[in-house]
Structure 1
Amino acid sequence: MIKNDLFLKALAGETVSRPPVWMMRQAGRYLPDFMKLKAKYDFFTRCQTPELATEITVMPIKQIGPDAAILFSDILVVLQAMNIEVEMKPNVGPWIPKPIRTKADLDQVIVPYAEDALGYVLDAVKMTKQELNNEVPLIGFAGSPWTLLCYAVQGQGSKTFDKAKEFCFKEPLLAHELLQKITDTTIDYLKAKAASGVNALQIFDSWGGLLSPEDYNTFSWPYIQQIVTAVKDLCPVIVFGKGCWFALQDMSRSGASALGVDWTCSARNARYLSGGNITLQGNYDPHQLMSPIPKIKSDVKKMIDAFGKDKYIVNLGHGILPNIPVSHAQAFVDAVKEYGS
């Protein structure tokens, strides 16, 4: 039995004394101890070494005390497993030397067996579960097929992913073939993560908001729905689509246990658009963690009041930024723990 099961209770829609709290990207770059490891080991070495991934995952649990851990990894390991080379370039970020642009490129993309190609992630799950010792739940995750297509086709990060969108509109059959390959790989990967012991799964659609509602229903949502349907009976699923407020109604009917909301959608609108019955997660603007600590604490209380303490998981509206002082992240977590006391 997990000692602190607030997060799992909130996912199940149960009444809680206070909402649970965790932060996207909490295992990482704002923590000085993480930066020491970053100076020693390159990015994918950290992802691919279970001992390092475990140490990084557990670090924030020990240091700031959120109610759930999220495995340190990256959404792009799925592309690597699919025979798409991915590098992490200094001052550039993700870099795909040979982007997928043609049928010949696509023919080189495989649907691997997750246990073989991503066994190091599964080892990290098992090792982390041992290290957590049932203190808090562990979240596993994957990127949405659309978000992974964006990187695979664009070849690097982008604010617009113009080449990825162009590919979808010019070569829709190839786009759907790539999206299905990513979907099949992701389903196998998340099933393996569930079997390895994660307590919940989150799907990140980081670039879904770049699509119109109609295009979202063509190139993103149907593939997320396939994933949710395939894994929802194994463990609870959270769907987080950045900028995807327009899809909250469809998402709420998907079988997911919770929906992530970014800071561009108010608590009131999120409850209305999602039908008012599903657990919501979010939606504090990560930049607001630069505010003075009393302001952070006051903001968090207002945010919980707006969403309501039940069927709600306190989180940021996107990943924590590298320049946030640890004391401010701590204040965010503490404010939730102090709620109602």
Structure 2
Amino acid sequence: MGSSQSVASQDFAQLKNDLLLRAARGERVERPPCWIMRQAGRYLPEYHEVKNGRDFFETCRDAEIASEITIQPVRRYAGLLDAAIIFSDILVIPQAMGMKVEMVEGHGPSFPEPLRTVDDLVKVLDYEVDVLKELDWAFKAITLTRKKLDGQVPLFGFCGGPWTLLVYMTEGGGSRLFRFAKTWINEHPDWSHKLLQKITDVAIEFLAQQVVAGAQILQVFESWGGELSSDDFDEFSLPYLKEIAAKVPKRLAELGVTENIPMIVFAKGSWYALDKLCGAGYNAVSLDWLWNPKEATKINDGRVTLQGNFDPGAIYGTNENITKKVEKMIKGFGGGKQHYIVNFGHGTHPFMDTEKIRFFLEECHRIGSQK
């Protein structure tokens, strides 16, 4: 799984804005912190300039370029974003497990050799993963980015949820029917659990080592959670999400990390699981835009911080409409002064107007700061 590593004696600058960390830990704050999933990426013209036609994963693996892309939105929206999230991808865990992943322009991620037979799966299960070696580039990018941020805002590390990664590894990419992933869990549940456990073990080490490298908060993206039935979510997703929440802090302690590192879980579309996710051991639960904030707040009952859940599509509308929806959202989450982080209910789109996003962030600050 990778050799043990003590905390690097990095000379990181003191954090100037810890609003998001305080909110994630459940403290009362002066206004709700703001960040956006996929805030670093394709909707920014400066992203395309820096990427300059390079392959997506080649871009991720270049620490200098990845750090620049991570910081671009923080620079563009100076004072409006309360966190940076490292420019990377959830599919680096399958890569670390010996699988080939390509990013096909206009199509998305592709696995040339997906897991379709038990023999395929056994090869992945038998593959010895050295997280520090396989994902060394990811840790270098985090350390460099943390140094370049110079304490402006905290830096997110992240990983994909085990079920979501199983989907990509078996389907060979994104899917609409989820034929192969559903075949695995329904025809070979035992083998599916073996794969999910291996992914979970790698995820725990990967998340912990991201903190050693400089990440100050973590998020787990169970992006395909909503493709499972409630019963299947309880069997093939929730136990592994809970294990990650329980074991990352223990691994961090072994690695000499003494800080309290907040953790967020985002299980898109898993509306039936919110009550369970609020009790899964994470500091915060991120919500997609399908949720009514008041209903989610009622279910949560003050247990954890909630994050979200602005409909990204509303960015295509008028400023007046954005203001109205921001007001309703923040009010729905109780005014945002405790147990709330502003975010989209999913990521940005490539076609979004950067100035509309600026307006959204400004309105979140203005409305969130009101008494």
TM-score by length of 2: 0.89
Provide the residue aligned with 1:328 in structure 2.
356
Q: Which amino acid aligns with 1:119?
A: D
- 2:108 matched to 1:80? no
Q: Which residue of 1 aligns with 2:194?
A: 177
In structure 1, runs of 5+ residues without a counterpart are: none
Paired position in structure 2 for 1:236: 262
1:264 aligns with 2:277: no
Tell me whether 1:288 sits opposite 2:314 in the alignment.
Answer: yes
Q: In the alignment, is residue 41 of structure 1 matched against residue 30 of structure 2? A: no
Match of 1:99 in 2: 114
Which of 67, 82, 89 does residue 67 from structure 1 map onto?
A: 82
Give yes or no for contact 2:157–2:215 (8 Å, CA) kept in 1. Answer: yes
Moved more, 300-309 or 312-321: 300-309
Distance 1:14 1:274 in 2: 16
Which blocks of at least 5 consecutive residues in structure 2 are unaligned? 1-13, 253-260
Q: Establish whether residue 273 from structure 1 lines up as the match of residue 302 from structure 2.
A: no
Q: Which moved more, 1:203-212 or 1:38-47?
A: 38-47
Match of 1:108, SS? Answer: helix
DSSP 3-state at the match of 1:40: coil
| CA offset digits 1:63-86 (Å, max 9, x no partner) | 013110000000001101100111
Runs of 4 or more above 4 Å deviation: none
Matched-pair contact (CA < 8 Å) for 1:160–1:210: no
Q: 2:28 aligns with which of 15, 26, 32?
A: 15
Separation of aligned partners in 2, 1:184 and 1:237: 17
- Output the amino acid matched with 2:265: V
The alignment's C-alpha RMSD in Å is 1.2
Residue 301 of structure 1: how far off its partner (Å): 2.1
Query: Is it true that 1:298 corresponds to 2:311 in the alignment?
Result: no
Secondary structure of the structure 1 residue equivalent to 2:75: helix
The answer as to whether partners of 1:111 and 1:185 remain within 8 angstroms in 2 is no
Name the SS of the counterpart of 1:186 in structure 2.
Answer: helix
| Distance across 2 between alignment mates of 1:95 and 1:85 | 9
- Give the Cα separation in 2 of the matches to 1:162 and 1:135: 45
Tell me the alpha carbon deviations over residues 250-287 of structure 1, each in whole angstroms, 9 at most, x when there is no partner: 11112210000011111112112223331000001111
Within 2, Cα distance between the matches of 1:304 and 1:129?
30
Q: Partners of 2:181 and 2:353 in 1: how far apart?
A: 35
Q: Percent identity?
A: 43
Q: Given the alignment of the two structures, is residue 157 of structure 1 paired with residue 174 of structure 2, yes or no?
A: yes
Residue 154 and residue 18 in structure 1: after superposition, are their counterparts in 2 closer, same or farther (change >3 A)? same
Output the TM-score relative to the length of structure 1: 0.97
Asked if the contact 2:241/2:280 (under 8 Å) is kept, the reply is no
Range moving further from structure 2, 127-136 or 328-337: 328-337
Q: CA deviation at 1:111?
A: 4.7
Q: Give the number of aligned pairs.
A: 341
Matched ranges for 1:189-228 at <5 A:
189-228=206-245
Q: 1:319 aligned to 2:347? A: yes
Quick check: 1:132 aligned with 2:132?
Answer: no
Larger CA deviation: 23-32 vs 249-258: 249-258
Residue type of the alignment partner of 1:175: S
Which has the larger displacement, 122-131 or 296-305? 296-305
